[in-house]
Amino acid sequence: MYLKLNSFFVYGLMFFCMSLIFLFFGVLAYAYMYTYFLEWILMSINSYRIGIVFLFDYYSLFFMGVVCLISGSICLYSSSYMMNESRKFYFLLVIIVFVLSMLMVICSPNLISIILGWDGLGLSSYLLVIYYQNNKSYNAGMLTILTNRLGDVMILISIGWMFSYSSMNYFIYLYYYMANYDYNNFMLMMIILAGMTKSAQIPFSAWLPAAMAAPTPVSSLVHSSTLVTAGVYLLIRFSGIFEVWFSEFLLFISGCTMLMSGVGAFLEYDFKKIIALSTLSQLGLMMGALSLGLVNYCFFHLLSHALFKALLFMCAGYMIHCMGGSQDIRMYGGMFHNFPLIMISFNVSNLSLCGFPFLTGFYSKDLILELLMMKEMNVLSMFFFFFSTLFTVMYSLRLMMFLLGSENNFFSYNFVAFDKLMAASIHLLLIGSIFGGSILMWLLFPFVHPVIIPLSMKLILSMNLLLGMFLSILFFFMKSFNLGMMSYFLSLMWNLPKISTDMLIFPSMFVMKFYLKYVDQGLIEYLIGKKMGDFLMNMSHSMSMELTGKNFKVYLFFFIYLYLMVMMLMIM
């Protein structure tokens, strides 16, 4: 057991070292604009070579560095958080499988190796969600893996289309597109749908809050900063060839996702679900920036969001751990008196999520919103972005007021003492949440990008922040605030969980259920399964007896049946 506990620490240090190496080479790759292709030939059969290709540019190196940094912090955090778990070593192994799968998705330009890492992400995510092995986790795990399986099917269809381009590397497809040769919009649509499923865009959003049934370190690593951004990263690779209607479609979907998650988080009382819905809102912002052609800024926000959102989940997990597992924020209060250092980290990450000036989230989020105002956009798209930003401020400040209340609402004491190792891993990411945005901006944008907008539009962002703070305080102290059935509809993510889980919503699902019950498990099971089984049992029994007239009829019937089946197969 001692070795298993130390293994968290060893792998955490290993991930930290890998993070430093990747970030160092990422800076060099960006400074000199280098792109490296490494091909490893596994076998050669005549003129056909089977190998693995790795792509290392500043996109992949920076992203792998951030993933390893967060993974190392999670390993240190889990060494104390999972101390009393009986299957902690199994938990560590699945985390390692997840990280390796994520690295394969990031550094591979080949769709076949991408689907291997993509499937590894889905499998490891499922195993981590069902870790506690209760009905809630089983249901959440099934919803998670089935939704992500849709994205796997889309990539498999894209692999089939890629056979016509003589290579599985997507750079070949980009070359065909740029050179105005034969290209396929259907394949690009499959890639967009795959990215939407992994990044939980509407109508595939129900699995992300449901996946909060996993342990909190899993939520911090998998469902906030790495797994859910794999879809965004895949679309970044294909973003240079988006058609106009692809961009408009993705812009509308991302706007609806931002609005739905922002309103749902404001009406939610579950601690982890609020943070999960905030992740969904930021994913919508990334997709919206990507649809408008702001690829580098989308990648910038992807990295900065990973830093402060992982810290936000780790602080939430620490408080849940110390409060006996309670996740209802109405039972919290006076947390600053109990956890002053943890609450400082939590407030910094929460303000960074709001886009508070000069924190990590400010540099990417404010820049994206200002660049959006320079684009030719309609009123509906502007409404989506700024109204969603307003709700981000509202639910973030509402969460802070519940936690920083003057008195404890339920618990009078902490169940778990202060843990130094968990606090150290939290404070390590605190540095990234404060200085990470400015450092990444200096590295990714060494030259000043001019933002030319009127002063009134420049002040909209500040007014949006102040208005969100005012409305949050107003609704917090308004005890009679109630929207009735509308509140129920908005808090349930526009009934997306019901649509994702209830088979009777669509007629096609009802037909499938009818076929499964009365045909596949009914008539066919009775005729082929039971009757044929009885016939074979009688035939095998008769083979042990002497050949009589009655048995001869049995054999004759069997060979006629076998002959007809073979003829039908030949005709088909």
- Quote the CA–CA distance of 24 and 40 in Å, as a whole number: 23
Q: Compute the distance between CA of residue 52 and CA of residue 66 in angstroms, rounded to an integer.
A: 24
Q: Which run of H or of E encompasses 199?
A: none
Of 117, 179, 80, give the one whose Cα is nearest residue 420: 80
Report yes or no: 387 and 259 within 8 Å, Cβ to Cβ.
yes
**pLDDT at residue 572 in the model:** 44
Q: What is the pLDDT of residue 90?
A: 83
Count of CA atoms in the C-beta half-sphere (13 A) of 467: 12
pLDDT score recorded for residue 555? 57
Total residues found in the chain within this entry: 572
Query: What's the pTM?
Result: 0.83
DSSP secondary structure, 326-339, as one string: --BGGG---HHHH-
Residues 6+ apart with CB under 8 A from 503: 509, 510, 512, 513
**What's the confidence (pLDDT) of residue 410?**
58
Residuewise pLDDT in 10s, the chain (572 residues):
344 446 778 888 888 889 999 999 988 988 888 888 888 877 777 766 777 788 888 888 999 999 999 888 888 888 877 777 777 788 888 888 888 888 888 988 888 888 888 888 888 888 888 888 888 888 888 888 888 888 888 888 888 887 777 677 777 777 666 666 556 677 888 888 888 888 888 888 888 888 887 777 777 777 777 788 888 888 888 877 776 677 888 888 888 899 888 888 888 888 888 888 888 888 889 998 888 888 888 899 999 888 888 888 888 888 887 777 778 887 887 777 777 888 888 889 888 988 888 888 888 888 888 888 888 778 888 888 888 888 888 888 888 888 887 566 655 555 555 667 787 888 888 888 888 888 888 888 877 677 888 888 888 888 888 888 888 888 777 755 566 666 667 777 777 777 766 654 455 556 666 666 666 666 666 566 566 666 666 655 555 454 444 455 555 566 566 666 655 554 44
DSSP for 257-294 reads HHHHHHHHHHT--BHHHHHHHHHHHHHHHHHHHHHTT-
Q: 170 and 109 in contact (C-beta within 8 Å)?
A: yes
